Amino acid sequence: MADVKLVSNSQVQPENDKPIFYILDTNVLIHDPTAIKNFDEHHVIIPITVLEELDKLKSGKVAIAADCRQAIREIDSILGRAPPQNVEDGVPIPRGKKLGSCGTLSVLMTETPQNVILLPTHLNDNKILNDVAYLKQRFPGHRAVLVTKDINMRLKARGCGIESEDYHSDQLLSDITLLNKGYIEFQHSFWDEVEDVQTEHSHASTLYHVPRNVIPQELYPNQFLYDKTGFLARVVRIGKERITLRHLDLGELMAKETWGLRPRDAYQAMALNLLLDPDVHLVNLTGAAGSGKTILALAAAIEMTVPNKVYRRIIATRSTQGLDEDIGFLPGTEAEKMEPWLGAITDNLEALHWEDDNSSSSIEYVLAKVPLLFKSLNYIRGRSFQQSLILIDESQNLTPHQIKTIVTRAGNGSKVICLGNLAQIDTPYLSPMSSGLTYLTERFKNFDHGGSLQLQGVPRSVLAAYAEKHL
Burial of 335 by CB count in 10 Å (0-12 exposed, 13-18 middle, 19+ buried)? middle
Amino acid of residue 115:
N
In DSSP terms, which residues pair with 199 in a beta bridge?
208
Half-sphere CA count of 91, side-chain side, radius 13 A: 22
Together in a domain, 92 and 156: yes
Q: H/E element holding 45?
A: strand 43-47
443 located within any domain: yes
Together in a domain, 305 and 192: yes
Question: Is pLDDT of 16 > 60?
Answer: no
Together in a domain, 180 and 160: no
Domain span at 98: 21-165
Q: Helices (H), strands (E): how many in the chain?
A: 15, 18
How many other CB atoms are there within 10 angstroms of residue 439's CB atom?
A: 22
| 119 compared with 71, residue with greater pLDDT | 71
Compute the distance between CA of residue 326 and CA of residue 60 in angstroms, rounded to an integer. 9
Compute the distance between CA of residue 383 and CA of residue 400 in angstroms, rounded to an integer. 18
Backbone dihedral angles phi then psi of residue 442, each to the nearest 5 degrees: -70, -40
Per-residue pLDDT, averaged over 184-197, amounts to 90
Burial per residue of 401-429, b for 16 or more beta-carbon CB atoms within 10 angstroms, e otherwise: bbbebbbebbeeebbbbbbbbbeebebeb
Among 377, 388, 380, smallest CA distance to 412 is for 388
Backbone dihedral angles phi then psi of residue 125, each to the nearest 5 degrees: -60, -40
Amino acid of residue 464:
A
Question: Is pLDDT of 360 > 90?
Answer: no
Together in a domain, 362 and 456: yes
What does the pLDDT read at residue 453?
Answer: 96
Per-residue pLDDT, averaged over 338-352, amounts to 66
Together in a domain, 258 and 157: no
Together in a domain, 326 and 433: yes
What does the pLDDT read at residue 10?
Answer: 35
**What is the pLDDT of the chain when averaged over all its residues?**
83
Q: Above pLDDT 70, what percent of the chain?
A: 82
Which of 30-44, 314-328, 412-426 has the lowest average pLDDT? 314-328
Domain count, the chain: 2
| 302 compared with 102, residue with greater pLDDT | 302
4 located within any domain: no
Together in a domain, 298 and 245: yes
Report the SS3 class of residue 149.
coil
Could you tell me if 228 and 246 are in contact, meaning their C-beta atoms sit under 8 angstroms apart? no
What does the pLDDT read at residue 80?
Answer: 84
Looking at 138, 165, 192, which one is the last position of a domain?
A: 165
Q: What is the CATH number of the domain that holds 78?
A: 3.40.50.1010
Looking at 165, 198, 213, which one is the last position of a domain?
A: 165
What does the pLDDT read at residue 8?
Answer: 34
1 located within any domain: no
Q: Where are the alpha helices (DSSP H) in 334-435?
A: 334-338, 343-352, 359-369, 400-407
Together in a domain, 115 and 254: no
Together in a domain, 148 and 262: no
Residue range 235-264, pLDDT digits in tens: 999 999 999 999 999 999 999 999 889 999
Residue range 280-310, pLDDT digits in tens: 999 999 998 888 898 999 999 999 998 889 9
From residue 403, give the alpha-carbon distance in Å to each of 30, 157, 362, 439.
Answer: 14, 31, 33, 9
| 63 compared with 414, residue with greater pLDDT | 414
6 located within any domain: no
14 located within any domain: no
Which of 131-140, 294-303, 354-363 has the lowest average pLDDT? 354-363
Together in a domain, 281 and 140: no
What does the pLDDT read at residue 431?
Answer: 84
Question: Is pLDDT of 12 > 50?
Answer: no
Looking at 106, 137, 165, which one is the last position of a domain?
A: 165
Together in a domain, 359 and 439: yes
What does the pLDDT read at residue 378?
Answer: 63
Q: If pLDDT is split at 50, 70 and 90, which confidence band does 409 have?
A: confident
What does the pLDDT read at residue 357?
Answer: 61
Q: What is the CATH number of the domain that holds 458?
A: 3.40.50.300
Together in a domain, 133 and 248: no
